[in-house]
A and B are shown apart, each in its own frame.
Chain A
Amino acid sequence: MQITKTLDGSTLTMRLSGQLNTTTADKLSDEIASSCDGVTDIVLDLEDLTYISSAGLRVILTAQKALRGKGSLVIRNASPEIYAVFDMTGFIDFLTIEQ
């Protein structure tokens, strides 16, 4: 999985490509943790992500909990397959998902 980061003020956009799975989830977790200085809002752009597994959901859940009350986490450009994963797991109830 490749992560391309763009910082705009206090908003960090992370564009993910490839697979957010059991082998790559730690990479995203580390990138988020190391990018927190001065960042209040994180946008995850999933346009080039082919699939997400529960290991990826765990990282998103952790980030969402950490940012709650301090900033925001926005999911952008999720494919129908990835949106379906958010839907079936109930994650759509607490994630901010923009198409």
Chain B
Amino acid sequence: MDLCVEAIIANVDMVTDFVNEQVKRMGGSRRAIAQIDVALDEIFSNICNYAYGNDVGDVTVRVCDVADQNSICITLEDKGIPFDPLSREDPDTSLGLHERGIGGLGIYMAKQIMDDVRYEHRDGFNMLTVVKSL
């Protein structure tokens, strides 16, 4: 099942609502939904902020089948500037209050919360896929 929306921050709720509906239908827990929402928020807002520069483009959210019936697989696709967000070094989470910035924390959180996060650039699309057991 697919959802195609403009890559603007205001659409993040449409993305999480769309995926949450599938997660609930699959019997996902409240905990799994909360964690998936965090990951989607981070990935979608990353695309909105960086993928298309000053232009506006689309994001397609795809819920795919996985062999393991107790997992959900979600792919976010954009046709923006090729960029692998997973290539960035993880932030140092041991830094104290005053040394602390917030850069890179979003994707780091998504990597921590999801069972698998992978990126590929194919046919002109950035494709970021997350897998989460329910």
| Interfacial residues, chain A to chain B (CB-CB below 8 A) | 19, 21-23, 50-55, 57-58, 61, 64-65, 68, 79-82, 84-85, 88-90, 93-94
Contacts and interface: CB of A to CB of B under 8 A. Distances in A.
Interface residues of B, number: 28
B95 interface: yes
Contacts, number: 72
Nearest to B111: A88
Contacts of A85: 38, 109
Interface in B72-104: 93-98, 100, 102
Interface string B32-56: 0011011001101100100000000
Contacts of B31: 80-81
Contacts of B12: 21-23
Q: Which 6 A-B pairs have the closest CB atoms?
A: A90-B93, A54-B106, A22-B45, A53-B41, A94-B97, A81-B34
